[in-house]
Amino acid sequence: MWTALAAIFLWRWLSHTSETTLCNGSTVRRRTDAHMEIDSSIAARDVRLHTYVQLISVLVLCYDAVLTMPDEISGIWSRKKTLISWLYLINRYLAILGNVGFLALVFKTLSPGAANSPRTQECGLVGLLGQMLLFANQFLICLILLIRIYAIYARDVRILGLFLGLGVISAAVTAFSLVNQKSKPLVGYPGCILQHTTANGIRLAAPWECMFVWDALVMVLTIRKTLKSRLPSHARRTSGTNIASLVFRDGAMYFAAMTFVNILNILAFYLTPPLLKGSLSTVTSVMGVTLVSRVVLNLREASAPIAPPQQSSWSDPGVVSHTNSRGNFQLQSIDARGPVDRSPVISYGWQATADDPLPIIHITHTPRLSYKSLAV
């Protein structure tokens, strides 16, 4: 869906580069900047394309929220709230309500007086609020990813310090990009579409470049941890999901999708005409909100409490792996009979013999898995 949307956007832009018709009927392709006059047909096309992209992004965000509502009810609303739960709710519903409200605010200027002569200050404020909404969602996404990687590394303070340092740099870059913007609204067209200069487009691309570095660092550390410490088979949940595999799978899918969309978004700031600079920012933000919400819901589903397995017969007990809720002991196996020299690791006051019909119980001490903290 997102690939098709981005491809349509690029095709429309490349096939409708600004043209000027000369007296002899020939056309000259030209680039426009925010302080240059834009042909009315070109402006109408760019405004329409910009609006379509925003509208489709919001519709996809709402559709995904409806699609995952059963998982959200069972994994978030019906369970005890944790920090990740609250961050999930704030991130998802801030994105939905904020983007829907922003679209309504923009389309409200379609009234004859406002649409034909929008006031510069009002449109500038609308544009600033839209950018702040995007960066607020990106901050929440970064925070969720930070907590996730911090848990994977068993609360290693070095990981926390690394990301806090990167976060301070990203916050400074974002603040710099939001102040002293040289943008002006397009007068005489629906909505409050801002025209960005080339320099302003480069400045606004910087926070998204920081986001790309953040995602790449999270992915590298996730790969390093999952390959270095593969979990044994008894780390598998009773639902059949291996937490390590789930973390790696979701992380890889998130990074691949976000890298593709974010690169297109950054290129749009550098290469597209003034009216289309930043038009893919909402797409990138919606993609991030959708994917990180899926990551949280998948972990909540994998960590759902399930009754421990029951042994129904002593004749063929097989192997049972279960973590004791009151300690770090794991029941590794139960044997119906065994040789005399196979003594239990922990004795319960009796010694097994060859003729003893009682089972031999093997209990081993196993350290708690650091992935337990991912049961968000």
> Is 314 within a domain?
no
pTM reported for the whole predicted model: 0.71
> Is 89 within a domain?
yes
- Tens digits of residue pLDDT in 17-43: 444 333 344 333 434 454 456 677 788
Mean pLDDT of 72-97: 94
Q: How many domains does the chain have?
A: 2
Spatial separation of the C-alpha atoms in residues 203 and 181, rounded to whole Å: 9
> Is 311 within a domain?
no
> Is 357 within a domain?
yes
Q: Can you give the pLDDT at residue 97?
A: 93
Of residues 230 and 368, the one with the higher pLDDT is 230
Query: Which pLDDT band, with edges at 50, 70 and 90, does 332 fall under?
Result: very low
Same domain membership, residue 8 and residue 130:
yes
Of residues 364 and 301, the one with the higher pLDDT is 301
Same domain membership, residue 245 and residue 336:
no
Q: Can you give the pLDDT at residue 68?
A: 95
**Is the predicted pLDDT of residue 147 greater than 70, yes or no?**
yes
Query: Which pLDDT band, with edges at 50, 70 and 90, does 306 fall under?
Result: low
Among the listed ranges 9-13, 200-204, 300-304, 324-328, which one has the minimum average pLDDT value?
324-328
Q: Can you give the pLDDT at residue 111?
A: 42
Q: Which residues lie below 8 Å from residue 58, measured CB to CB, with a gap of 6+?
A: 99, 100, 103, 282, 286
Spatial separation of the C-alpha atoms in residues 352 and 337, rounded to whole Å: 9
**Is the predicted pLDDT of residue 169 greater than 90, yes or no?**
yes
**Is the predicted pLDDT of residue 11 greater than 80, yes or no?**
no
> Is 316 within a domain?
no
